[in-house]
Chains A and B, each alone.
Chain A
Amino acid sequence: MASGVRPRVKAPRSAEAGEVVTIKTLISHKMESGQRKDSDGNVIPRSIIHRFTCDFNGTNVIDVKMEPAISTNPYFEFEAKIPEAGDMVFTWHDDDGSVYTETKSVAMA
């Protein structure tokens, strides 16, 4: 697991049925592109988060494939329609095999 990785999510605690809410996510990660060299000229191996997903009660909301050009601490902001109360599960997949997850519950207003 890369060091200093911490997922953060900002989502509303409650919503009306069918309401479209804005969700913000950020994960602190160095996103080493694999293109850079260290001071000795050796290539620093690629280490990025290559996939990000969000599921609501088992239904996929967003599934993002990420490439090395994405900057450090990737931030995603997107909208989702909340049909019912439930759990939103956010998942980040690291190149090194680590999977980071975060869950946010949304209640009906």
Chain B
Amino acid sequence: MKFNAMTAMAAVLFSVPGLVSADPDDDTLVVNGEIEMTTKAEPPAHLDGVLPTIMSGWHFRADETQALQMDDFDNSGMIFVDEGRAQWNKVEGSEGKSCATCHEDPSSMKGVRATYPKWDETAGEVQTVAMQVNDCRENNMGADPYGYTSGQMANMEALIAVQSRGMPVDVAIDGPARDMWEAGKELYYTRTGQLELSCANCHEDNYGNMIRADHLSQGQINGFPTYRLKNAKLNTVHARFKGCVRDTRAETFKPGSDDFVALELYVASRGNGLSVEGPSVRN
């Protein structure tokens, strides 16, 4: 619970707590009445107590928005999962293969979303799910890569994420991935843009407060790709990062760049322990 002097004063002034408070709620997220999600958890050790509890962005949304994620029929993100499934089975490229040729059913991707980004020994770098998808398309299928934050990539990421729904995020930050993780942490705490805001200024220092008309969450990415009501489509992590950095009035990093991959690894690790929710629904 985030509680500061301002909200305390406001609560006293209006004596209607809950009306002005922007605190996250205590609802429970169960999808389709069967998949129980961990949306609040003990923070991972590497956070050194900067957050008392890690919380999914779901808690920061209105009840109506929350309800959309509790039933797959109401969750518009599932439309894109279906599109992703069609892409999965579609033969493309010079090798005459589809994803299904090697990986068979998408359920073979169970657990993938929970552990990425991840160090890839062969490639000698930290890879995101999107990088893996494009690596497969280019080298195994002989097909053109998807745009990093394109609709097709978001569909594919959603199809892969949904296989791991309910599993705890568990990205490894030790071993060879450590350098990348440190770089991501550095970026997280670096102020950018004319507004001189770092990720931490909003999502660590001020979550639970309002930023103009919007409710600041902890900026967890366990729910990505995310269906946003504001643009009625799936949004990828890097597209969201880009939007956030742009809002600090900075020149943004490029989606798929090393900077954003490092940031994704770091931000994902801040949510170690929360359930994979993708595709989630947010405002």
Q: Are B73 and A24 in contact (CB under 8 A)?
A: yes
Q: Enumerate the 6 nearest inter-chain pairs by beta-carbon distance, A residue then B residue, closest first.
A: A10-B73, A28-B79, A72-B232, A24-B73, A73-B76, A73-B79
Asked whether A8 and B232 contact (CB < 8 A) given A28-B79, A73-B79, the answer is no
B73: nearest chain-A partner, CB-CB: A10
Cβ-based interface call for B196 (8 A): no
Q: Are B73 and A26 in contact (CB under 8 A)?
A: yes
Cβ-based interface call for A103 (8 A): no
Cβ-based interface call for A97 (8 A): no
Cβ-based interface call for A71 (8 A): yes
- Taken residue by residue from 64 to 81, chain A's Cβ proximity to chain B (1 for < 8 Å, 0 otherwise) reads as 000000011101000000
Indicate the member of B73, B76, B82, B232 with the most A CB atoms within 10 Å: B73
Cβ-based interface call for A41 (8 A): no
Which B residues are in CB contact (< 8 Å) with A72?
Answer: 232
Which B residues are in CB contact (< 8 Å) with A8?
Answer: 73
Contact of B232 among A4, A26, A73 (CB under 8 A): A73
Contact size class for A? Answer: 10 to 19
Contact size class for B? Answer: under 10
Cβ-based interface call for A6 (8 A): yes
Spell out A's residues near B (CB within 8 Å): 4, 6, 8, 10, 24, 26, 28, 71-73, 75
Q: Are B74 and A24 in contact (CB under 8 A)?
A: yes
Cα separation A72 to B233 with both chains bound (whole Å) = 10
Q: Are B73 and A71 in contact (CB under 8 A)?
A: no
In the assembled complex, 11 residue pairs joining A and B whose CB atoms fall closer than 8 Å, in A order, are A4-B83, A6-B82, A8-B73, A24-B73, A26-B73, A26-B76, A28-B82, A73-B76, A73-B79, A73-B232, A75-B76
Q: Give chain B nearest CB distance to A65 CB in angstroms.
A: 22
